[in-house]
């Protein structure tokens, strides 16, 4: 047994060494001759318009919609679209896809980050290799990307919900807020801005209470019921969370308050479709993910072609969406939240 | 089961002299994996765009480095017919320790050494339960897989620690100057050579094969089976702890769920490299080729735009085929040997004759 093993070893070890050195030698040679990435696949004038979209995970209807927007834009300007991504939304699983994009020498990478830090180094290595990096939907630290395409500002989100409820209740009466958890940073920022907007511009609307459904369907449902019992005069509810608004709509749709108490907030079309169709909800807001992807693709193109560098004040053309300007910290704002109602909800599937 | 396996091996040793050395070498599993590896490299170079870039070499070696590291002690463990399923959980635990201690203000080197020691302790716990308490390693390490992962996730929750000294993260990531080869390959080479010498050139290494072939016979011939196995699991834990520090620096990310599922990649590579899951058979150069094969195949397929689900399917098929082909080869050899025996008018396989 052992003598047999020992006889065989030298040839086997030799072959391993040969294989490894062959691999290294071949890649080494190619490295000298092949030019260093980036300018490999450049087609057309000046820029390499191969753009890869990397969502948080694949098979997510929200990203299917946003990436379809990106694909539409890339087709418009004649680039090459690709979509890659992990099956589950974990940060380290995004790293290998970022590395692959860098190896492929794509011109641009559009990423929704699973973690603001974990993919930073990989993104910066890709940028060193000549890839333009744009984040959308979910940002990384500003020093890890060229641009962030922001769906909406806190001010825009707060204002659109106050405007919607004011319109639906005739700009007077009692309203309440059904939020997520009491320590959710973004929710609290929005609620504070809503309170300011209400005090300044809607003196006849009274915010009676803010309750917390903890982003849990059943808790949100129960809190809605409690609100309506506590405040019989309640005219409207704002729920700036997709879980809360759906639970509140479910309660309202089967209660005597259906059509009497207005409900608006942030929701997704697939969750809210039946409540819009049965008249429980008139209109609610979110951003349009298709436009977000479309804008991200055009921003990437502008970076690749050197039209912009990501400096504050740079401006670029974004096809059907018009002209956009880069703000502080390399952030481009899509615009005001998009309002979904009975007219347009049928156009969306996410 | 063990009896049949040792018969096959005994048969092969006996008839080995009937063939020239080069032919015997070509028939081994290690050679088959190395040839397959060279074919995959050649095809990828010819077909996959950008496979021939220095960036590919860098990323590839970086990503497979933790698997390579852990595969070294795993090879020794599987040769003794045991298994360590808890390695990826030890990587996670060590990663979390690195993060927590760094955040608590410890100098990074001290935090890292402590994290490696935590890995060693975890390995010692496995070793204790297996050799002193006498439980099967499969059962013990399934348990500690959950236990160590649970502690790791429990300590840090779902948060991540992402601030590490740049000097150390650079050290983990930077290439050897002038090459596309990451610096991590230097400690890896040292370890690989050390494990190679230990397995193939020392009495300790030979005793591992003896234990894998027949534990009782090994014990009767004076090998301390318990102590040997304890040392192997201690090594496995220590190397996994080291891999955890490396993993943390590579991604600048200490998380409880780091390296989840990596034990399967390691075991797959070891088996693909020709180590028998029934113990007693295998060589380290085959394992290194196995790790490279899985890594290069994955990298080339990703570059070619194949989705990760399909890559998993391909790696799975490859693994099953490699296990099936091992049995098939053994069966073919037995047939050929008995045919030779009949021709010569006597049995060349005394062990096998009824």
Q: Map out the domains of chain B as residue ranges.
A: 48-311
CB A278, CB A53: distance < 8 Å: no
Q: Which residue of B has its CA nearest to A126?
A: B55
CATH architecture of B48-311: Orthogonal Bundle (1.10)
Burial of A30 (0-12, 13-18, 19+ CB in 10 A): middle
- For the record, the structure tokens of A119 come out as 């993919």
Of A15, A34, A100, the CB nearest to B34: A15
The token duo for B229 is 């196995």
Beta strand spans in chain A (E)? 50-54, 80-83, 108-111, 132-136, 147-150, 173-179, 205-212, 234-239, 262-265, 283-286, 315-317, 323-325, 331-333, 338-341
Does A16 reach chain B within 8 Å, measured CB to CB? yes
Burial environment of residue B250 by CB neighbours within 10 A (0 to 12, 13 to 18, 19 or more): buried
Q: How far is A104 from chain B (nearest CA, A)?
A: 6
3-class DSSP state of B175? strand
Quick one: pLDDT at residue B172?
87
Q: How far apart are CA A130 and CA A37, in angstroms?
A: 7
Residue A148, φ and ψ in degrees, nearest 5: -120, 125
Q: Say yes or no to pLDDT of A9 above 90.
A: no
Helix (H, G, I), strand (E, B) or coil at A207: strand
Q: How far is B321 from chain A (nearest CA, A)?
A: 21
Low-confidence stretches of chain B (pLDDT < 50) are: 1-16, 346-354
Question: Who has greater pLDDT, A30 or A263?
Answer: A263
What global pTM score does this model have?
0.74
pLDDT cut 70: percent of chain A above it: 87
Range list of H helices, A151-184: 154-169
Beta-bridge partners for A278: none
A25 touches chain B (CB under 8 A): no
What's the burial of A42, exposed, middle or buried (CB within 10 Å: 0-12/13-18/19+)? middle
> What is B246-274 written as a DSSP string?
HHHHHHT-B-TTTTTTHHHHHHHHHHHTT
Please judge whether A37 and B180 are an interchain contact, meaning their C-beta atoms are less than 8 angstroms apart: no
* Per-residue pLDDT at B25: 63
Confidence of residue A42 (pLDDT cuts 50, 70, 90): very low
Q: Which of B211, B209, B230 is nearest to B220 (CA)?
A: B211
Residue A233 pLDDT exceeds 90: yes
Residue A6 has pLDDT above 70, yes or no: no
- CB of A197 closer than 8 Å to CB of A238: no
Question: Residue A44: what pLDDT?
Answer: 43
Task: Give strand pairing partners of A111.
Answer: A54, A135
DSSP bridge partners of A1: none
């Amino acid at each position: 047994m052992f003598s047999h093993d020992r006889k065989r070893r030298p040839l086997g070890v030799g072959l391993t060494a040969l294989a490894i050195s062959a691999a290294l030698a071949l890649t080494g040679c190619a490295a000298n001759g092949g030019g260093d990435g980036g300018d490999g696949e450049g087609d057309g004038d000046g820029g390499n318009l191969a753009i890869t979209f990397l969502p948080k995970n694949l098979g997510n209807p929200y990203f299917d919609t946003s990436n379809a927007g990106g694909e539409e834009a890339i087709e418009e300007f004649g680039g090459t679209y690709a979509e890659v991504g992990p099956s589950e939304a974990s940060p380290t699983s995004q790293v290998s896809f970022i590395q692959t994009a860098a190896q492929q020498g794509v011109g641009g990478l559009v990423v929704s980050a699973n973690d603001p830090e974990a993919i930073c180094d990989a993104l910066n290595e890709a940028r060193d290799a000549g890839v333009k990096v744009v984040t959308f939907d979910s940002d990384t630290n500003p020093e890890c990307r060229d641009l962030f395409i922001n769906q909406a500002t806190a001010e825009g989100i707060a204002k659109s919900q106050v405007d919607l409820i004011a319109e639906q209740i005739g700009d007077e009466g009692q309203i309440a807020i059904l939020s997520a958890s009491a320590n959710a940073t973004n929710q609290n920022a929005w609620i504070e801005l809503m309170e300011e907007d209400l005090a300044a511009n809607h003196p006849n609307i009274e915010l009676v209470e803010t309750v917390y459904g903890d982003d849990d369907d059943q808790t949100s449902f129960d809190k809605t019921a409690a609100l309506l019992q506590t405040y019989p005069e309640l005219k409207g509810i704002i729920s700036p969370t997709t879980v809360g608004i759906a639970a509140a709509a479910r309660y309202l749709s089967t209660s005597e308050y259906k059509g009497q108490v207005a409900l608006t907030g942030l929701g997704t079309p697939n969750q809210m479709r039946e409540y819009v169709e049965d008249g429980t909800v008139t209109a609610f807001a979110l951003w349009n993910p298709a436009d977000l992807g479309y804008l991200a693709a055009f921003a990437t193109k502008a970076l690749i072609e050197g039209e912009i560098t990501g400096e504050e004040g740079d401006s670029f053309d974004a096809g059907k969406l018009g002209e956009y300007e880069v703000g502080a910290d390399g952030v481009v704002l899509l615009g005001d939240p998009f309002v979904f109602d009975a007219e347009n909800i049928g156009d969306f599937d996410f | 089961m063990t009896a049949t396996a040792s018969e096959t091996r005994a048969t092969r040793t006996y008839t080995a002299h009937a063939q020239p050395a080069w032919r015997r070498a070509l028939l081994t599993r290690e050679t088959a994996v190395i040839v397959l590896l060279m074919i995959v490299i050649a095809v990828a170079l010819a077909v996959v765009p950008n496979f021939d870039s220095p960036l590919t070499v860098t990323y590839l070696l970086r990503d497979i480095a933790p698997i390579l590291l852990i595969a070294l002690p795993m090879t020794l463990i599987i040769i003794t017919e045991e298994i360590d399923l808890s390695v990826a959980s030890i990587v996670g635990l060590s990663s979390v320790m690195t993060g927590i201690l760094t955040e608590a203000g410890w100098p990074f080197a001290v935090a890292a050494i402590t994290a490696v020691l935590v890995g060693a302790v975890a390995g010692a716990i496995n070793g204790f339960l297996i050799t002193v308490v006498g439980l099967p390693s499969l059962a013990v390490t399934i348990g500690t897989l959950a236990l160590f992962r649970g502690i790791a996730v429990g300590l840090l929750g779902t948060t991540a620690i992402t601030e590490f000294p740049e000097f150390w993260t650079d050290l983990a990531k930077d290439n050897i100057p002038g090459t596309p080869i990451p610096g991590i390959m230097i400690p890896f080479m040292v370890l690989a050579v050390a494990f190679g010498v230990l397995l193939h050139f020392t009495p300790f290494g030979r005793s591992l094969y003896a234990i894998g072939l027949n534990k009782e016979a090994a014990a009767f011939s004076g090998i301390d089976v318990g102590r040997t196995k304890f040392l192997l699991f201690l090594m496995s834990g220590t190397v996994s702890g080291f891999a955890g520090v490396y993993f943390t620096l590579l991604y600048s990310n200490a998380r409880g769920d780091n390296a989840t599922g990596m034990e399967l990649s390691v075991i797959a590579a070891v088996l693909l490299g020709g180590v028998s899951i029934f113990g007693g058979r295998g060589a380290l150069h085959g394992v290194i080729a196995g790790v490279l094969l899985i890594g290069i195949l994955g990298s080339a397929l990703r570059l070619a735009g194949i989705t990760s689900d399909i890559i998993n399917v391909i790696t799975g098929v490859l693994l099953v085929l490699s296990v099936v082909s091992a049995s098939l080869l053994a069966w073919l050899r037995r047939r050929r040997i008995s045919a030779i025996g009949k021709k010569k008018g006597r049995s060349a396989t005394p062990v096998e004759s009824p």
